[in-house]
Amino acid sequence: MQIVKEINRIGVFTSGGDSPGMNAAIRAVVRTALYKNKQVTGIYHGYQGMMDGDFIPMESRSVSNIIQLGGTILKTARCLPFRTVEGRAQAYKNLVEAGIDGLVAIGGDGTFTGAEIFSREYDIPVVCIPGTIDNDLYGTDYTLGYDTATNTVIEAIDKIRDTAASHDRLFFIEVMGRDSGCIALNAGIAGGAEAILLPEKATAIDDLIQHLSKGARQQKSSSIVIVAEGDHNGGAYNVAKRVKEKFSHYDAKVSILGHLQRGGSPSSFDRVLASRMGYAAVNQLIAGNTRIMIGMRGNEICTTPLEEAINNKEYKLSEDMLEIAEVLSL
């Protein structure tokens, strides 16, 4: 959607779960805006900071030395009061007082939903950047942080495989992904996992046991099973328990990777993606576009109306990738 109001001061914030690459995106937003002679205000703690007036003017040096940092220098939060009319009225009042007349929001679909409602309610332009390790947003092949998180998981798999092989062990490694198996599938392929359990595709425990038994017969000394946290069998501990009941000769261990997948220095891919998305977000705002999400399709930056991004779910696991995982685990 296009609007014709000139923007003078852009407010930038991060919201929802943090992800590596958010700082690189903040940096790109700040520097692109300054380059275009616009002013920038950082909003701390997402919508909570908007409601509290927790703002900081940003200059070029405010974002020095942050491109390599995980997390978000602007902090993030989940803010229930922003879901209320009164909460959003308070936030708008603070924005007007600070002279903020355009917003760049970096976060996931909850953040986009808040941005869409707020932008319609107060006619304030907003452009969103997808920041979540889950890679589960419609309208983009990649979200910020997904590549880094996948690399973190691969590093962990490699280390666990060293000990698994030394002790002839079966390891169940649980990775993040309540609804999305993107991290599990890609890290599983890259880490040479023997099996990958995904939220999108139910795997029967008996089939898994059959698969692992076949590997054992073929003299596999160790096995790694990647379990996405949203797998239908109820997580790695449950899967391990049920497999152990029938597969007792293996020394089975469980490792839950947890929040370490959210942290760390962003990969080169995430830094470049963040830089491109931050640059595009500011240019879209200045061009008069609002209620859109920046994405990347193929290697091209693109935009999707927020409403479409929020209301659609995209199935990101290709049949090819699923087959590759299966074939290469023989």
80 to 119: interface string for ligand ATP, x by CB under 6 A? --xx-----------------------xxxxx-xx--x--
Taking the C-alpha atoms of residue 126 and residue 281, their distance in angstroms, rounded to an integer, is 9
Residue among 11, 13, 16, 54 that touches ligand ATP (CB under 6 A): 16
Helix/strand number for the chain, H first, E second = 11, 11
Give which of 84, 83, 82 is closest to 50, Cα–Cα. 82
Cβ burial 229-254 (10 Å sphere, 16+ → b, else e): bbbebebbeebbebbeeebeebebbb
Asked if 200 interacts with ligand ATP (CB under 6 A), we say: no
Task: Check: CB of residue 164 under 8 Å from CB of residue 137.
Answer: no
Which residues are identified as catalytic? Answer: 134
- DSSP 8-state assignment for residue 306: H
Asked if 135 interacts with ligand ATP (CB under 6 A), we say: no
Q: Which is nearer to ligand ATP, 113 or 265 (CB)?
A: 113
Asked if 132 interacts with ligand ATP (CB under 6 A), we say: yes
Asked if 143 interacts with ligand ATP (CB under 6 A), we say: no
DSSP 238-302: HHHHHHHHH-TTSEEEEEE-GGGGG-SPPPHHHHHHHHHHHHHHHHHHHTTB-SEEEEEETTEEE
31 to 50: interface string for ligand ATP, x by CB under 6 A? ----------------x---
Least distance between ligand ATP and beta carbon 17 (Å): 3
Q: Which is nearer to ligand ATP, 108 or 125 (CB)?
A: 108
Nearest-CB residue to ligand ATP? 110
Considering only 76-84, 96-104, 184-192, 270-278, which stretch makes contact with ligand ATP by CB under 6 A? 76-84
Task: Check: CB of residue 1 under 8 Å from CB of residue 116.
Answer: no
Task: Check: CB of residue 116 under 8 Å from CB of residue 125.
Answer: no
Least distance between ligand ATP and beta carbon 96 (Å): 19
Q: Which residues bind ligand ATP (CB under 6 A)?
A: 15-17, 47, 78-79, 82-83, 107-111, 113-114, 117, 132
